Amino acid sequence: MQTIVLTGSTGGLGFALANQFVRKGIGNLICVYRDEMKFQKLFGHFGSNLYSYKTFMEDDYVPLGNTIEALPGDEIVLILNAFSIAPIKLAGEYSYQEIDGMTGGNIRQNVALINEAIRRCRCRSLKLRIINLDSGATDFPLSGWGNYCASKAYLNSFLSVVALENPDFKIVSFDPGVMDTDMQRQIRETDSRVFDRVETFISYKESGRLIDPSAVAEQLIERYVSHWTATGIREKYKL
């Protein structure tokens, strides 16, 4: 039995994943979220076979670890989906509060969660899969995206080390392609002074090139949750 820990469950891909886990009856699902009202609105009607965990910026995830240990099962599946592209700004224009928020959310929270999951797996002899949501922006600098590009690269590099230290864990960073979610809406609303390729991203939406997050969710579950087909540490959505 798998215990699936899914971050960013109130977002585009996260919500699509949660829906499919519940509908298909896969594992015990723990939805991690930060916005109570959003969570209740989206998940209020879901049945009882779903666990939830409200996170916050300085979270050490120990209470989440306790919940995991209380559930039956021999494998943790950690899906690192929560990620923020905000603030889309040029370096030199961030406030100190924004700097704390972007490193705290995209880096510190993910590292704290990975750390806690590994600790629990080691204590209880549980198996662990980590599925990190990768992006083309890891290798491709885009103006205004300093926070996003750098934190994606950080997570990939960190997980390469975790994989080296733990050859028994299954770890993959999966690039879902350009999806029709709130993140893309935020990108389209950016000033071209900050993000010079904004028109290209507007055209992706207008020409119907954005991928439906439900299709990505289905493929991610098939490739990395129901089975394990990864042959490398970084893989991409297959059209």
Ligand X SMILES: NC(=O)c1ccc[n+]([C@@H]2O[C@H](COP(=O)([O-])OP(=O)(O)OC[C@H]3O[C@@H](n4cnc5c(N)ncnc54)[C@H](OP(=O)(O)O)[C@@H]3O)[C@@H](O)[C@H]2O)c1
Does 179 contact ligand X by CB under 6 A? yes
| For ligand X, the closer CB: 162 or 187 | 187
Does 173 contact ligand X by CB under 6 A? no
Distance between CA atoms of 118 and 129, rounded to whole angstroms? 10
Distance between CA atoms of 14 and 182, rounded to whole angstroms? 11
Handedness of CA 150, 153, 154, 155 (dihedral sign): positive
Angle at the Cα of 56 from the Cα atoms of 50 and 60, rounded to 5 degrees: 90
Does 178 contact ligand X by CB under 6 A? yes
Does 87 contact ligand X by CB under 6 A? no
Distance between CA atoms of 183 and 133, rounded to whole angstroms? 13
Does 182 contact ligand X by CB under 6 A? yes
Binding mask 102-121 for ligand X (x = CB under 6 A): ---x---x------------
Does 4 contact ligand X by CB under 6 A? no
Total residues binding ligand X (CB under 6 A): 25
To the nearest 10 degrees (0 to 180), the angle between helices 96-103 and 146-165 is 30
Shortest gap between Cβ of 91 and ligand X (angstroms)?
20
Does 2 contact ligand X by CB under 6 A? no
Applying CB under 6 A, the residues found at the interface with ligand X are 8, 10-14, 34-35, 38, 55, 81-84, 105, 109, 133, 135, 176, 178-179, 181-184
